[in-house]
Amino acid sequence: MEDATIHATKAQDKTVELDVQFINPYKGRGVFAKCQFGKGDFVVEYRGDLITWEESQRRRRTYHRASAVFLYEFYWKEKIWCIDASREDGSLGRLVNDDHRHPNCKMKRVIIEGKPHLFLFALREIHPGQEITYDYGGKDWPWRKQTLEQSDADVESSDSAVFSAVLETSERPSTSTMKTQEQTIDADVESSDSAVFSAVLETSERPSTSTMKVGMSLFCNVCSCAHCLV
């Protein structure tokens, strides 16, 4: 926690330990580890302007949808607040991608000197070269559907290749040698077990997993939150 506090106070990221890399045209950029992180280690802060929910809604109406996706809403003192990370300020937290199956980090709200901060902590050991990810929550995000469709396509392609190989093999004479070879400084830390993020289909700022968000939260029947922490 001391590590997170120091970086939050200085508004600095771990640029020695983290790196931004372009992944592909679909995902865009992502954040990668350059060193080892242990389970429970502070990794990066989702940094931006702290604003009220009312202000976040006003900005949402005026922002292009590619910018509105960076409005991260969360609970604090029985109200909804927002971190607006829409400005390209060089901070790394805004570029971290979604992974709902095997995330290696988790978002937590931490109160430091009476002010809320959103930090990512490692869920397990993270090795150099691995991408930093966390679960945005929810289940119907467009990029997840595309990832699933791509996986299905890969499986079909693989099955087709196997089938072709079987056909080719069946036409050959069998011999006895042919064989089949068969994972404040008030350290009031609260987990966000139901962090819900928003998605937009097209954005150049973040990887589709980070950028494609639609306004939505645990209060989807009340507001169109971009993200939500309880």
Q: Which domains does the chain have, with CATH numbers?
A: 2-139+184-228 (2.170.270.10)
Question: Is the pLDDT higher at 76 or at 170?
Answer: 76
Name the residue with tokens 């093999």: 169
pLDDT (mean) for 216-224: 37
Residue 33, SS3 per DSSP: strand
pLDDT of residue 139: 63
* pLDDT at position 182 over 80: no
Tell me what percent of the residues of the chain surpass a pLDDT of 90: 44
pLDDT of residue 176: 36
Sorted by sequence, the CB contacts under 8 Å of residue 37 that are 6+ apart come out as 17, 43, 122, 125, 126
Distances (CA, A) of 194 to 13, 107, 108, 156, 228: 25, 10, 11, 34, 7
Model confidence at 192, pLDDT cuts 50, 70, 90, reads very low
pLDDT (mean) for 36-56: 96
Q: Distance (Å, rounded) from C-alpha 212 to C-alpha 28?
A: 11
Strands 42-45 and 115-122: antiparallel
Question: Is the pLDDT higher at 33 or at 141?
Answer: 33
* pLDDT at position 201 over 80: no
Structure tokens at 92: 């790394």
CA 132: distance to chain centroid? Answer: 8
Task: Specify which of 32-36, 94-98, 206-210 reaches the highest per-range mean pLDDT.
Answer: 32-36
* pLDDT at position 29 over 80: yes
Q: Of all helices (H) and strands (E), which one includes residue 75?
A: strand 71-76
Name the residue with tokens 């090795």: 127
Question: How does pLDDT run across 66-96, given as a tens digit for each residue?
Answer: 888 888 889 999 999 999 999 999 999 999 9
* pLDDT at position 187 over 50: no
* φ, ψ (nearest 5 deg) of residue 18: -125, 155
Q: Distance (Å, rounded) from C-alpha 123 to C-alpha 178?
A: 46
Tell me what percent of the residues of the chain surpass a pLDDT of 70: 60
